[in-house]
Structure 1
């Protein structure tokens, strides 16, 4: 996706080295999405992800402590898009919330072969709280 966005914006001077993936977790589930992401932002909607080691507060869109005896929490739809870090006018820092760089893995076996990319998840706790708990997002729970 980074390469496609960079190619689409080469006239604006975007370089692959300065393009990074960014995301916003929506409040919607798969059934609620009826159209693609806005054309001016682009990107893709991702669904079918499971949070391992934490819970998700859909109302406040942030990580929370997991419910007792719940191993995996289904995540709402995530809008993943690319931004140019070289452009100074991008305002992506939202409020005073901490952001946890949550690793996404294809399978429950967490290795460098199954690692995909990090998702940025808002939290009230410091990000180290979730790192010590081993919180990750899985594409498949089997």
Structure 2
């Protein structure tokens, strides 16, 4: 709670952040929709035709970023469950034995016209490690945020069978 307050206070006092701490949002889906809406309005493209392209950065530390991205937004604060990230291959990888969670790299969410790429792994993002949620009044899960496409050197089904996902927060 205190860290969330500090993030929003810094945003108010210091202006638009270079990277957004996704875990600070109670309803991250709403924030991500607002990013698409802003892009939709400035480019005169219907928002229902938009999605995100996901570009992993070579760091998980937002302080190492030199500035905001040219397009889209940087998201940080995700944790990988059932997988890790290989900075050498810039692809999803097996986690080390005995490691439960690994910090995800910073991700550049770039709005673009929707198009699925099936050779990538569609990694789900959940708010918590309990991968279930009740349906809200909008008909959406209260726990599932969205699925992002990440590079993989293996068949995407490998990661599906391992249950690889990203989380906005850990249980502790």
Q: Same fold (TM over 0.5)?
A: yes
For this pair of structures, how many residues does the alignment match? 128
CA distance in 2, matches of 1:80, 1:51: 17
The match for 1:98 is 119
* Pick aligned residue for 1:118 from 141, 147, 151: 147
Question: How far apart, in 2, do the equivalents of 1:137 and 1:53 lie?
Answer: 9
TM-score normalized by structure 1?
0.83
1:22 equivalenced with 2:43 (yes/no): no
Gaps of 5+ in 2: 1-34, 133-140
SS of the residue 2:110 aligns to: strand
SS at match of 1:5: helix
Gaps of 5+ in 1: 87-91
Q: Distance in 1 between matches of 2:57 and 2:102?
A: 15
**Stretches of 4+ aligned residues off by more than 4 angstroms:** none
8 A contact 2:125–2:148 mirrored in 1:
yes
Higher helix share: 2
Structure 1 residue 66: Cα displacement: 1.3
- Say whether the 8 Å CA contact 1:98–1:125 is kept in structure 2: no
Q: Hey, what does 2:163 align to over in structure 1?
A: 134
State how far apart, in whole Å, the 2-side matches of 1:101 and 1:83 are: 17
Q: TM-score, normalised by structure 2?
A: 0.69
Contact 1:45 1:78 in 2 (8 A): yes
